[in-house]
Amino acid sequence: MTAIAHRYEFVYLFDVTNGNPNGDPDAGNLPRLDPETNCGLVTDVCLKRKIRNFVGLAKEAEPGYEIYMQEKAVLNQQHQRGYAAIEVEPVSKKLPNDKAKAQELTDWMCRNFFDVRTFGAVMTTEVNAGQVRGPVQLGFASSIEPVLPLEVSITRMAVTNDRDVDKERTMGRKHILPYGLYRAHGFVSAKLAERTGFSAADLELLWQSLINMFEHDRSAARGEMAARKLIVFEHESALGNAPAHQLFDAVEVCRAPGEDDRPARSFKDYRVDIAHAAIPQGVRVIEKL
């Protein structure tokens, strides 16, 4: 597949209603927070997981779209498949001495695993398949305004063991945000795509994943989550025509007129403005959502 020829950046907006978008295991699974601002956080790892899950559903069993980093995957076994394909026996923790074979191994991993050629991977385990620097990177998502986590008590009618059958109902806790609108920034490097083979078809699949990934990630814990805006900046060149921060600054998210005197409870409480006059020449704005 031919690699993409243009650099891209994107602004991604998504929201959550009565749910926990990304629990913090170091804080009892409370929604992640910036302690200085009380704005909510969602990690890049969380967002990439959802993209991987969507691709796994959309491209199930289709060659070239396997997911490398998936639940219960044994990474050494994935690497062993690459060695078998290039007909080389692995040496513990070492790449093949033949540089051409080492490159062939890495190329095989990129061709077969969507997330390797998209996000990259450190594959220097016991069965060493090298390292790949991916063309697509995401930053942490941060909520537009401070959020207020709530702890909701719940009860369970059933018990686990026979000896507990006469006990009262078990109490539990759920942590939710009544509402939060989150903003994340993403980057797509055409020059790094040349090394992994990340193609125009892969890029389109990435956009589809960002738009649809919450539709297949429903759970009681996450409440209602939805993709709200995907604003893409396409550069004319592979190296780019403007700094990324300048493009991100052109997108402003603020309260809609008359909606700033109460806590936000829906996407309609916000306004998204794009300062098209501030977009430098050589950059095209594409609203995917």
What are the C-alpha distances in Å from 157 to residues 140, 166, 184?
38, 11, 40
189 closest CA partner among 276, 279, 254, 117: 117
The answer to the question of residue 93 being in a domain is: yes
- What's the average model confidence in pLDDT over 133-137? 97
pLDDT tens-digit map of 25-56:
988 889 999 999 999 999 999 999 999 999 99
C-alpha–C-alpha distance, residues 188 and 234, integer Å: 10
pLDDT tens-digit map of 240-265:
999 999 999 999 999 999 877 899 99
- The three-point CA angle 247-215-254 to 5° equals 35
Q: How many residues does the chain have?
A: 289
The answer to the question of residue 2 being in a domain is: no
- What's the DSSP call for residue 149? -
The answer to the question of residue 158 being in a domain is: no
pLDDT confidence tier of residue 168, bands split at 50, 70 and 90 = low
Would the pTM count as exceeding 0.75?
A: yes
Q: Any idea of the CA torsion for 232, 233, 236, 239, to the nearest 10 degrees? A: -110
Torsion-angle region of residue 29: left (phi > 0), alpha (psi -120 to 50) or beta?
Answer: left
Q: What is the domain count for the chain? A: 1
Q: Which residues contact 154 (CB under 8 A, 6 or more apart)?
A: 171, 172, 173, 174
209 closest CA partner among 227, 182, 185: 227
The answer to the question of residue 166 being in a domain is: no
pLDDT at 104 (0 to 100): 96
- The three-point CA angle 202-204-210 to 5° equals 105
The boundaries of the domain holding residue 133 are: 8-152+174-287
* Residue 177, burial from CB neighbour count under 10 angstroms (0-12, 13-18, 19+): buried
The answer to the question of residue 180 being in a domain is: yes
The answer to the question of residue 165 being in a domain is: no
The answer to the question of residue 188 being in a domain is: yes
Mean pLDDT score across all residues of the chain? 93
The answer to the question of residue 250 being in a domain is: yes
